[in-house]
C-alpha cells in the first residue's frame, strides 16, 4: 500500500517533539511538504535540523507561533502557505484533583485543546473546499471516552474535540475534504513519562514504572504497553492520504484496545 502525499502541504501543530514530531516525519516521508510548529522559534529550527539530518530529502518548513492566539495562528499559516493537510496535535494534559481544578484551568484546557483546533480549521477549511481536496485530523485521546478520574478537565476537552471533528466533517460534506479524529491511547512520550512518575514511585526504573502504571491505571489495555508515537503517526499518514477518501466524520482508534467498546 503506497501512501503518496507528493505536492501536498501539511501543518502539524505541536510538532517539535513526541507524537506531533512522529506525525510530521511520517507525512514528510510520504512526500508532503510539512510545516513544523511550536511556540519557540529555536525549538522549531532545532527540530527541523534534526529531522533533516535523519533524512535530507524531507521538505520541512519552520512555522513557529502560538496557535492558541489568533495572531499567532495567522503567523503560522503565513509561514505554512496553503494547507492541504491540517493535523491538530497540540494539547496539554496533567493530573489534578477534580475538586481542585479552578475556572481558569478549565478555560485553559478548553482554549488549548479545543479552541486552537477550531480556529485553525476555520482558517484552512475554506481553502481546502475551494481546491476540492483536503484532510483535517484532530488528535484526540482514549480519555475522551474513558474519562480519567485524575484529569477530567483533559477528558472533557478531548470529548469536545470529537464533536468538533464530526461537526466540521458535516460542513465539508461532498467537497472532497475529509475531517476525522484519531483516538490515541496511552503513548510513550517525554511528557507521558513525567505523568507516569506523578502516579507511580519515582524511584522505579522506567520499564518497571511503565508496567506498574499500566497495571494500576490502564489495566484494560489489550496491548499492555504504552503505544509508540510512530504507531499513531502511521494511522495519521493513512488518513491523510487519498487511500482514506471514504473515511470522514470518524473517530478512528489507535488505542491498543484500551477502550472496552466495539465503537468509540
Q: Which residues are part of the catalytic machinery?
A: 154
Nearest Cα neighbor of 118 from 160, 64, 66, 61 is 160
226 neighbors 187 (Cβ within 8 angstroms): yes
Query: Cell numbers at residue 95, please?
Result: 493530573
CA distance 130 to 177: 10
> Mutual orientation of helices 152-171 and 103-110 as an angle, nearest 10°?
40
> Mutual orientation of helices 18-29 and 229-239 as an angle, nearest 10°?
50
Sheet with 251-254: strands ordered across: 59-62, 33-36, 9-12, 85-88, 134-141, 177-184, 251-254
CA distance 115 to 110: 6
75 neighbors 62 (Cβ within 8 angstroms): no
The secondary structure element, H or E, covering residue 39 is none
Amino acid at each position: 500500500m503506497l501512501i503518496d502525499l507528493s505536492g501536498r502541504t501539511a501543518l502539524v501543530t505541536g510538532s517539535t517533539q513526541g507524537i506531533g514530531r512522529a506525525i510530521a516525519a511520517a507525512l514528510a516521508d510520504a512526500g508532503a511538504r510539512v510545516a513544523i510548529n511550536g511556540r519557540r522559534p529555536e525549538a522549531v529550527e532545532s527540530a527541523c535540523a534534526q529531522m533533516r539530518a535523519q533524512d535530507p530529502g524531507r521538505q520541512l518548513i519552520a512555522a513557529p507561533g502560538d496557535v492558541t492566539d489568533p495572531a499567532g495562528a495567522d503567523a503560522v499559516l503565513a509561514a505554512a502557505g496553503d494547507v492541504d493537510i491540517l493535523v491538530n496535535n497540540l494539547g496539554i494534559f496533567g493530573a489534578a484533583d477534580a475538586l481542585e481544578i479552578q475556572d481558569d484551568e478549565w478555560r485553559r484546557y478548553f482554549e488549548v485543546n479545543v479552541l486552537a483546533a477550531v480556529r485553525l480549521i476555520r482558517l484552512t477549511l475554506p481553502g481546502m473546499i475551494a481546491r476540492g481536496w483536503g484532510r483535517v485530523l484532530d488528535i484526540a485521546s482514549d480519555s475522551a471516552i474513558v474519562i480519567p478520574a485524575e484529569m477530567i478537565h483533559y477528558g472533557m476537552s478531548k470529548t469536545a474535540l470529537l464533536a468538533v471533528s464530526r461537526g466540521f466533517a458535516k460542513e465539508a460534506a461532498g467537497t472532497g475534504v475529509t475531517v476525522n479524529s484519531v483516538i490515541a491511547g496511552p503513548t510513550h512520550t517525554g511528557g507521558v513519562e513525567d505523568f507516569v512518575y506523578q502516579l507511580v514511585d519515582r524511584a522505579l526504573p522506567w520499564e518497571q514504572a511503565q508496567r506498574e502504571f499500566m497495571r494500576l491505571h490502564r489495566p484494560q489495555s489489550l496491548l499492555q504497553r504504552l503505544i509508540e508515537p510512530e504507531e499513531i503517526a502511521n494511522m495519521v499518514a493513512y488518513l491523510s492520504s487519498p487511500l482514506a477518501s471514504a473515511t470522514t466524520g470518524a473517530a478512528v482508534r489507535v488505542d491498543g484496545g484500551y477502550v472496552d467498546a466495539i465503537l468509540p
